[in-house]
Amino acid sequence: MSNNSYIDDYPSTFNSHIPITCVNIDDDESNEICLILRNIFEEIGKSLNIKSLKGISIALGDEGYRKAIDLIDSTRQVSNGEVIGCALTISNIIEGVLESYIVLKDVSIVPLLVEKAAKDEEQVAFMLQVIAHECGHIHGDDLFYEIMGDVPKIEDYESHYAAFIYDISTVGWSEFSACFFSAHIGLCPEEDFRGIVESKVENIVNELESLKLMTLEPLELLISVYKNIGNLIKYSSYYLGWMFNSKLKPEKTKLYESLEDNWFLSYFLELDKIYENILSKLSNEQLEFDEILEIGHLSKRIAKHFGFTTTVDQSNGTGIFFMA
């Protein structure tokens, strides 16, 4: 952990009295786990604003993890696929106030569950990074809503295409900001983030080209193309958040080296500039929501690169593809 991770003389923003729920964990184990966990959040709360955190859940196994998430918000789903989630932050605006909850799966807090792992510096550092990342979500959400106030909701957008732009933008910004605020705490995530981006960049070409060979309805095609591109933008946002946290320019990173002469490099650099602008406007309290949507608009340019041109059928709000 960085020596500058916490500000020792600054009061913590963590409310040490909030409930911690243990799903599928025996009572005799849970007391000590909760005590250590409260101490960790207390320390992280000295450098990140987590005052809106209202509850924490820790869960054993996939079933317990899904149950813990469902108890907080039944509309949320466990992350699967290329990146499998091991922790989740759920934030909602309740009567104009931000309320957040964190769910931690057992794999993210192994040092609290296995005595041997508690002595493994790398596993402890990984746990601290996971927890800090979730706290980074809360810190970023609080700052965002403090400056932006009420923002549009996904249901406000009439077309499927516009809803995808909204979703890609808000998810991308959420992951970027979480990493930007937390990546200096615990295990350095650079290698993992880079590997995820490199793998997606390598695979997305075949994934999108194969869609051209399928007979799909326009909406099916819209969903398939933008889900693939949205994931690439999301994973790149993780890496860029770490990069900005580390005060690095793209050309000084290992990912830049691996992307040289690659089709995605120009879009990665474009995304870098979008986040640079957002952070600048955010710091001056001049951020407009349309500037967040620039993250999602990048997906349309990537789609065009692969021969997908998007128009919107105004009669039913469905995005229609014409292949170039």
The structure tokens 């039913």 sit at 316
The torsion region of residue 323 among left (phi > 0), alpha (psi -120 to 50) and beta comes to beta
Instruction: For residue 55, give both structure tokens.
Output: 């509850």
Give the mean pLDDT per block of 10 residues along the chain (324 residues).
47 94 81 93 96 93 86 69 75 87 94 93 97 96 85 79 92 97 97 97 95 85 92 98 97 97 97 96 88 96 91 60 50
Q: What is the pLDDT of residue 324?
A: 42
Contacts for 35 with CB less than 8 Å, ≥ 6 apart: none
The structure tokens 């403090």 sit at 146
Give the DSSP H or E segment for 133.
Answer: helix 121-148
Q: Angle, nearest 10°, between helix axes 218-245 and 190-211?
A: 160
CA gap 182, 244 in Å, rounded: 11
Instruction: Compute the Cα dihedral for 197, 308, 291, 166 and give only its sign.
Output: negative
Instruction: For residue 271, give both structure tokens.
Output: 């995304």
Q: What is the pLDDT of residue 27?
A: 75
Instruction: For residue 291, give both structure tokens.
Output: 């500037």
The structure tokens 């909701």 sit at 153
- DSSP conformation class of 97: E
Identify each DSSP E strand in the chain by its residue range: 20-23, 53-59, 87-94, 97-105, 308-313, 318-323
Q: What is the pLDDT of residue 84?
A: 57
Helix, strand, coil percentages for the chain (3-state, nearest 5): 60, 10, 30
Bridge partners, residue 308, by sequence = 323
Q: What is the pLDDT of residue 234?
A: 97
CA gap 160, 312 in Å, rounded: 9
CA gap 79, 69 in Å, rounded: 11
CA gap 107, 113 in Å, rounded: 9
The DSSP-derived string for 218-276 is HHHHHHHHHHHHHHHHHHHHHHHHHHHHTT--GGGSHHHHHHTT-TTHHHHHHHHHHHH
Instruction: Compute the Cα dihedral for 171, 176, 179, 181 and give only its sign.
Output: negative
Q: Angle, nearest 10°, between helix axes 265-283 and 121-148?
A: 60
Instruction: For residue 225, give both structure tokens.
Output: 């193309």
Distances (CA, A) of 140 to 54, 89, 98, 173, 309: 16, 12, 12, 9, 34
